[in-house]
Amino acid sequence: MDQQRIERLESSFNLVAPRAQELADRFYALLFARYPQVRPMFPDQMNDQKQKLIASLVLVVQNIRTPDKLLDPLSQMGQRHAGYGAAPEHYPLVRDTLLEVLGEIAGDAWTEQLNGDWSVALDLVSSIMIEGAKSEAQTA
């Protein structure tokens, strides 16, 4: 990932971060409206889940300059996701819903370029998670 893309990811995340709660609320509302088949995979009570999603996005953006540090946590997250029933074909649904909601929250600041930046970043995250799900469970 080149330097300029990294800078755009960081600054756009800083822009939406003050509205992270709204982002998470809207993300799950839209995900479940578009893809009702995934709703039963999630707990009834979504408050904790929303916080965890936000925390995972913060982790990704904070470590985007040292992506090696993301490999272990994201692989392990992918392993846990296999246990939740998440399959590779679900990842684009999550990516596209997140892109749409990021765009809603960023408003006029959202551009095609940013959409592409976030699409690349979320595909990277997804591919590490999917690879992690294929490997043996680790205790670390």
Residues that bind ligand HEM (CB under 6 A): 38, 41-43, 49, 52-53, 56, 77, 80-81, 84, 86, 90-91, 94, 122, 125-126
Q: Among residues 15 and 99, whose Cβ is nearest to ligand HEM?
A: 99
Q: Among residues 6 and 93, whose Cβ is nearest to ligand HEM?
A: 93
CA-based radius of gyration for the chain: 15
Q: At 85, is the secondary structure helix, strand, or coil?
A: coil
Q: Among residues 15 and 56, whose Cβ is nearest to ligand HEM?
A: 56
Q: Among residues 66 and 108, whose Cβ is nearest to ligand HEM?
A: 66
**Beta carbon of residue 58, minimum distance to ligand HEM (angstroms, whole number):** 10
Q: Among residues 53 and 114, whose Cβ is nearest to ligand HEM?
A: 53
Distance CA 10, CA 65 (A): 10
> How far is residue 104 CA from its own chain's centroid?
16
Helices 91-106 and 3-16 sit at what angle, rounded to 10 degrees?
70
**Beta carbon of residue 11, minimum distance to ligand HEM (angstroms, whole number):** 20
Separation in Å, CA 30 to CA 3, 33, 73, 74: 32, 5, 26, 24
Number of CB atoms found within 10 A of residue 101's CB: 21
**Beta carbon of residue 2, minimum distance to ligand HEM (angstroms, whole number):** 21
**Beta carbon of residue 108, minimum distance to ligand HEM (angstroms, whole number):** 25
**Beta carbon of residue 122, minimum distance to ligand HEM (angstroms, whole number):** 5
User: HSE-up of 117 (CA within 13 Å, CB side)?
Assistant: 22
